[in-house]
Amino acid sequence: MAVYTAIAAAVLCWRKHGRAALWTVVVMSGASLTTFFLKGLLQRKRPVWPDPVTTLTSFSFPSGHSTGIAAAAGVVIVLAGLLVRRRGLRRALCTAAVLLALLVGLDRIFLGVHNPSDVLAGFAVGGFWVLGGLAAYDPAPKAKAREAFSTPVPTTRKLAVVLNPIKVEDVDAFKAMVDRAAAEAGWNEPVWFTTTVEDPGRSMAEQAAVAGAELVIVCGGDGTVRTVCAELAGTGVSVGVVPAGTGNLLARNLGIPLFLQAAVDVALNGQDRAIDLVKVSGDGIGDDEHYMVMAGMGFDAAVMEGANEKVKAKVGWLAYVVSALRNLMFPAVRVELSVDGGEWTRHRARTVLIGNVGYLQAGMPLLPDAAIDDGVLDVVLLHPSRFLSWIPLAVRILSKGRHTDDLVNRMTGKTISVRAGSDTPRQLDGDSIGSGRELHAECVHGKLLVRVPR
């Protein structure tokens, strides 16, 4: 349990959940120390059986195994409620934690090394430290206190929220949380807008800007965020991103927490950062289309298109892994590429990605030199010619190697144009936009203000 606690705390700290890490260490340590002192104080002997499976000479009350597993189960349940957004996964983790605790308790009784009262007392001690820890200290992420700041620029403190309702489990609870956080941060009562299938946020963002909103919070997946950001680009209205989708690549690359309440705190109390927007065009693409993160042709677009929505709802971005395995041998395509209006060069690639950011899910550094505010785009062409070629490709990407060749070829430029020899799947920020032969991307430098952590 000490090793597991240390690993859990380290992972939580790495994921920037310091409060949860501290709470976990205190709860687990407190439960262990309480058991140690109670055993020495009460000195209850172990039960004696005629034909024991095993015997122990240490004291019996309370059961240390039961205390440890009960505290650990409680920690898992609390952290799942705080940090796991999907209801199905939360329920699975909580159920597994409870069943494991019961199994350990029964194991101690059936081995003959503890009385039932020892096990129940251990459960009580573990539960006490979990509940007591929650009462004394909130492990949920907290925003940093806002620094006093005066500005000659007039502020309205008007707030609007664009919400994709299918991305949050309890809309009423989410609204109540945002209303409460806005009031505590000194904002006016939020004006709420809800997206629809027909309108993923464009008109809502326009209405918010026209109404004089100083800040627009958008809660949804990458598609909703892309639509709202594109509409508000150039208006001077700040955008607070509350990631509630599967990929959440913009939030990941800007350091915005994926925990909804913490993301709302950043949106309300963070600082503005001017980032680039990418204008995109091509056959079958409208004239006023933009993206924030990445556009792609080939394998990656086929992966996005093949990810099952029901699977995404249950396991999140792992659905893309399943789709990727099914599409590993997506056929290579002949493409021509032009950078900054220069000469067209010919290539073969399974996928072409034009990135405004550098990192994919799980921190994969696909374009390690890309920055969202550097005024240029980074393009990578990947061509694993055989099935086993994916292995050296993965090594090259994870090691952030700068060497370019036919396997991994990288370029940069303000404008990128790609022409394919045949109709090829395409995607913008994870949303499939259908097959086509052309993709033209132009970086619009510093066009959008996004709230990021201080």
What does the alpha-carbon distance between residue 67 and residue 129 come to, in Å, rounded to a whole number?
Answer: 10
Long-range contacts of the stretch 44-50 (C-beta < 8 A, 24+)? 44/118, 46/113, 46/114, 47/112, 47/113, 47/114, 47/115, 49/112
* Residue 37 clears pLDDT 80, i.e. is over it: yes
Spatial contact of 404 and 381, defined as CB atoms under 8 Å apart: no
Using the structure block, give the residue that is written with the tokens 């289309």.
289
User: Both tokens of residue 222?
Assistant: 């990458």
Spatial contact of 67 and 34, defined as CB atoms under 8 Å apart: yes
What does the alpha-carbon distance between residue 34 and residue 25 come to, in Å, rounded to a whole number?
Answer: 14
* Residue 318 clears pLDDT 90, i.e. is over it: no
| Nearest C-alpha neighbor of 80 from the set 140, 16, 147, 169 | 140
Lowest mean pLDDT among 52-56, 101-105, 444-448: 52-56
Spatial contact of 129 and 71, defined as CB atoms under 8 Å apart: yes
How is the chain split among helix, strand and coil, in percent rounded to 5? 45, 25, 30
* Residue 315 clears pLDDT 70, i.e. is over it: no
Spatial contact of 137 and 23, defined as CB atoms under 8 Å apart: yes
Lowest mean pLDDT among 32-36, 238-242, 395-399: 395-399
> Which residues belong to the active site?
65, 114
Residue type present at position 127: G
Domains of the chain with bracketed CATH: 2-136 (no CATH), 159-269 (3.40.50.10330), 282-443 (2.60.200.40)
The predicted pLDDT at position 300 comes to 84
The predicted pLDDT at position 312 comes to 66
Grade residue 268 by pLDDT with cuts at 50, 70 and 90: very high
Better-predicted residue by pLDDT, 73 or 300 = 73
